[in-house]
Structure 1
Amino acid sequence: VIQAPNIHIDSYDENSLSFTLTMDGDIKVNGYVVNLFWSFDAHKQEKKTLSFRGGSALSHKVSNLTAHTSYEISAWAKTDLGDSPLAFEHILTRGSSPPAPSLKAKAINQTAVECIWTGPKNVVYGIFYATSFLDLYRNPKSVTTSLHNKTVIVSKDEQYLFLVRVLIPYQGPSSDYVVVKMIPDSRLPPRHLHAVHIGKTSALIKWESPYDSPDQDLFYAIAVKDLIRKTDRSYKVRSRNSTVEYSLSKLEPGGKYHIIVQLGNMSKDSSIKITTVSLSAPDALKIITENDHVLLFWKSLALKEKQFNETRGYEIHMSDSAVNLTAYLGNTTDNFFKVSNLKMGHNYTFTVQARCLFGSQICGEPAVLLYDELSSGADAAVIQAARSTDVAAVVVPILFLILLSLGVGFAILYTKHRRLQSSFSAFANSHYSSRLGSAIFSSGDDLGEDDEDAPMITGFSDDVPMVIA
């Protein structure tokens, strides 16, 4: 009669055990078969089989066990007379039982599943998956990784069961299984959604079809959500192209929008968030200093921004670097602003921008002006004197040149007047006849001829005043 072998547990710890097998009697032993059984739940018993050849006595160490886990060891001997009866032994490994991983899995396209889990570090995990529970526990497919995430490639149009567990340095308990149904083509989201160009009131968005080379027209639904005004708009696009572009208009400068694109059958969506370009800064920001205040001037934004309405107005901020203070001065619908109560010796920075809307969420770009001309004490007097001297140096030479030009002009006019007066007097005296009491003018060709037809000027008598026209 063949007796069962003797199992002697030599030692064990958290992840290993050592045992010795012996046979009583003189029966020749050709080998042993040892099975280790354990389970982490009531639904599945796991087993590990070890085979050994020759020898009536055998010692062996089994590693890769799990802490605080109950193991059943069964063994029988192979002899020339047949197999011996089974012998059994039980142990409970030392230590604390490791926690089971917590798994999350989802399909990210037609053939890829993203698996993410939590669990111990510095171990090797195995991800097991199959299309049925029977295959999952008997003949699953698997991949390994030392990370806490893995993308698994599977077949299209299938439903899979996933679980994850530690494989090295021990075989730990498995996670709960997760069911993942692969996404059919018609339920995939658009791919690679992005903004090509973003302006003040428009944006050009672009995306790729959910799958390559569509064989029919696809209907896309586009939702534009205003994150500031809390309003929604929707559009529809029809295209068979693999790449689709769409221009969004009537946006608000400086606005924030959430854009969602999905197929018309309300499949999974793709989304992006954009911020439109703000209104430009006002041009030609200038400052004029008065006795007790300063005036800020700038050009109207309506001259270059069609979207700007003067009724919106501007807001003015001031920063004082001396005390590290920034203040809101106010707003105005004019193109100027008065600022008072400035302190000597302080440097100020003024900013002017289109007035912000909805709690300072929609603002224009600021125009910035540094004002550091307010000095104190003697420095202010010196600067004022220097400015007066500079003005005088320019004005006095100009006034002198103007006066000199006027004097020269009057002298020239007076000289010409005297010459004309002398010439006329000499001419009149040479043609006046005191005997006739008149002046006669004739051409040189008529000299010596009858002067009946000669022109005659009368009225140069002493009692008739001479009028020169």
Structure 2
Amino acid sequence: MDPTATNTTIYVGRYRYFFQVAAITPAGVGQFTELKNITVTPNIPASPTDLTATGNSQDRTAHLEWKKPDSKVKLYYIYYAWPYSDDTVIGDVKCCNTTLTETTVKDLSPNVTYIFKVTAFNDDGESLQSDPASVTIVGDPLPRPTNLNATPTGFHTIELTWSIDDTSHNWMYGIYYSKSGHYLTEPKEIVNDTKATVPGLESDVLYIFQVGVVGPVGKGPQSIPCVGATQFDPSLQPRDIRARAVDFTTIEVTWRSPRDLPTKLKYKIYYGIPKAGQIEFQAVNVPDTKDTSLAYNITGLIPGAPYTIKLSNGEMTAAMIAKEVNVTTLSSSAPTSLKVFELPRADNDIVGVTLEWTAPDRILNKSLGYAVFMAIGDKPVSWKHQTSSDINVTAIVGLEKNVTYNFKVCTDQYMNYYGEFSDVAQVTLSDTAGSDPHTAHHKKSSKMAAIVAPIIGVVAMLAVALVIFIVRHHRLQRSFTQFANSHYDSRSGTTTFSVEGDGLGEEEDSPMIRGFSDDEPLVVA
């Protein structure tokens, strides 16, 4: 991650956000950047106007008044800042809120100039800050604690010590601390000594501390921040453990250290396969590391086996084990395109089916072959291993008529673990003979032939008739031409018919046929 950039979650219901950044190291907290803000939605109220501040040094208060903006307001937030040093101003600190357009801020420190700002808030978010108004509380300044030190004394405690130059009063001290470095307006602990032990902290967590006078005559300036970390608790559990299958025999385990501080730790990964409700764990040691985000590969596992993973930062005890995760190593992927066909029945009336499928894309070993599982009923519940096959086709016989069968296929088992199952193929066997894919294809071809053959016959007959007509036409044309040439005399224009030669019969009374002239057409009906 880029150490100069981070992502911040925007929470629902708040639409305007303010940001400051400071560097935090074991040596202390650096100076905060300039205050930045972002508007998530424009539907927020306008800023209050005409803010005024009047100080009362006697009771160390400041009275604020302002005008309501021209929009709906549910609440007003009051912020103030004050000089932390000659070149640093602390703020803006949200000190209080009100539903009115005025309020009084109490417990201010004498000889300190406060800068106040007000914002308006409604259901759409918070407005921009108003123009500032300042007030100075007159009086002798309260002392500021110095030489603040933090020393871890246990998994959940840190001891603080500090000094105070002014011993004229029996001062009451407020202890301020947080994990984020945000300046707090109210102390979490109040003591009357320059030494205190802060309890109830988280183990191996970095905290920022400040101390300031809170009585008996007002709230004084806070000390320079001090950073301290609690001791590491070895019983802390690793965080965010995850596991994923990398290949047939490898699982990658990832996790985060119990805390984000770079503490050198030794981790142990426990893994095993559940059998009969029990798990016999094996362990692998991870080399010592200060990394806060870690990953480790467990190798030599069984393909397709379900593993339970546990992780600890030392020897396995109930308090140190992270929440277990379950993961299955990769196995052969599922066969595809499973099809089932009813076998044709001969005189022996054997009832059965043929199964065909496509080999899987990912396979552990082709020599394993395939396993076929079968279940009965429309909604199968109980599956049984039916047969095995070295190739992607097999036949199953001995089934019953009018029964619904379901089939699924996978790569056959390796070390008692099968590959992934295919989709389910279902068939209901009929009373009559079924068909395998070849028989079905033959029947389909026969049907096509029964339709096409008559059509081809009709076309052939039409073609033969056409040929006969053409031949006879040519013969008639040729016979007429020969007849005309033999009986017509173009010189005399007469046509002669011989009774004998023409075969017209011996009729003496046959009339003479008059010839035609050249300019008259010869018409023969």
TM-score (normalised: structure 2):
0.35
TM-score (normalised: structure 1):
0.39
The structure where strand makes up a greater share of residues is 1
